[in-house]
Chains A and B, each alone.
Chain A
Amino acid sequence: MEQFFESATPAYITMAIVLIPLLGFIIQIFFGIKLPRKGDFVPTTAIGLSALLSVYLGIQMFRVYDPGLCYESIKTGVEWRWLDYGNVKVFAGVLLDNAGIVMLMMVSVVSFFIHLFSIGYMHGDRYYQRFFAYLGLFCFSMLGLVASDNLLFMFIFWELVGFCSYLLIGYFFYEEEPPKAADKAFMVNKVGDCFFMAGIIIIFHVTGSFNFREIFHSVESGEWAERAAEIGIYAGWITPQGLLTLAGLLVFGGAMSKSAQFPLHVWLPDAMAGPTPVSALIHAATMVAAGVFMVGRMFPFFTPTALLIIAIIGMITAFVTATIGIVHFDIKKVLAYSTCSQLGYMMLALGVGGFTAGLFHLITHACFKACLFLGSGSVIHAVHTQDMRDMGGLRKKMPFTHGTFLIATLALTGVPCLSGYFSKDAIIANALEWGMAEKGAAYMPFVFASLAAFMTMFYMMRLMHMTFWGKPKNQEKYDHAHESPPVMTIPLIALAILAIFAAGTILPWQTAAETWYGDLVERPEAVVMAESAHMHDAQHEFEHLHHEMHEVHHTAHYGALGASLSMVVLGFFFAWLFYGKKVLSAEKVATAIRPVYKTVVNKYYLDDFNDVVFVRGLRKFCNLLKITIEAAIDFLVNFAGYFTRFVSFTQGLVDKYIVDGMVNFWWWFSHLLASLFRVLQTGNTKDYLALALLGAVIISVLMLFV
Chain B
Amino acid sequence: MEFSLSPDNISAYLIVSGLLFLFGVLTILTRRNAIYILLGVELILNAANLNFVAFSRFGGFGIDGQIFAVFIIILAASEAAVALAIILQIFNNYGTVDLTETNLMKK
Contacts and interface: CB of A to CB of B under 8 A. Distances in A.
Contact, chains A and B (beta carbon distance below 8 A): yes
Interface of A: 681-686, 689-690, 693
Contact of B37 (A681, A683, A689): A689
B1 interface: no
Contacts of B105: 681-683
A684 B28 CA distance: 13
Interface string B5-29: 0000000000000000000010011
Contacts of B93: none
Contacts of A693: 25, 28-29
B99 A685 contact: yes
A685 B83 CA distance: 14
A686 B103 CA distance: 11
A689 B99 CA distance: 11
B29 A690 contact: yes
B25 A684 contact: no
Interface string B25-62: 10011011010010000000000000000000000000
A693 B100 CA distance: 18
A375 to B, nearest CB: 121
Contacts of B25: 693
Contacts of A689: 28-29, 37
A686 B104 contact: no
Nearest 3 interchain pairs by C-beta: A683-B105, A683-B103, A685-B99
B105 to A, nearest CB: 3
A689 B41 CA distance: 11
A682 B99 CA distance: 12
B51 to A, nearest CB: 14
A685 B29 contact: no
Contacts of B99: 684-686
Nearest to B41: A689
B4 interface: no
Nearest to A689: B28
Nearest to A688: B99
Contacts of B78: none
Contacts of B89: none
A665 B32 CA distance: 41
B102 A686 contact: no
28 contacts: A681-B105, A682-B103, A682-B105, A683-B103, A683-B104, A683-B105, A684-B99, A684-B100, A684-B103, A685-B34, A685-B37, A685-B99, A685-B102, A686-B28, A686-B29, A686-B31, A686-B32, A686-B37, A686-B99, A686-B100, A689-B28, A689-B29, A689-B37, A690-B28, A690-B29, A693-B25, A693-B28, A693-B29
A369 B29 CA distance: 135
A540 B57 CA distance: 144
B21 to A, nearest CB: 11
B47 to A, nearest CB: 14
B71 to A, nearest CB: 21
Contacts of A682: 103, 105
Contacts of A690: 28-29
A86 to B, nearest CB: 92
A682 B100 CA distance: 10
Contacts of A686: 28-29, 31-32, 37, 99-100
Nearest to B102: A685
Given A681-B105, A683-B104, A693-B29, 12 more contacts: A682-B103, A682-B105, A684-B103, A685-B99, A685-B102, A686-B28, A686-B31, A686-B32, A686-B37, A686-B99, A689-B29, A693-B28
A682, A684, A686: which has the most chain B beta carbons within 10 Å?
Answer: A686
A634 to B, nearest CB: 67
Nearest to B40: A689
A695 to B, nearest CB: 13
Nearest to B99: A685
A683 B31 CA distance: 16
A705 to B, nearest CB: 16
Contacts of A681: 105
A690 B25 CA distance: 9
A531 to B, nearest CB: 117
Contacts of B102: 685
A552 B99 CA distance: 149
Nearest to A690: B29
Interface string B92-104: 0000000110111
Nearest to A697: B25
A689 B32 CA distance: 12
A628 to B, nearest CB: 77
Contacts of B32: 686
Contacts of A683: 103-105
A206 B102 CA distance: 112
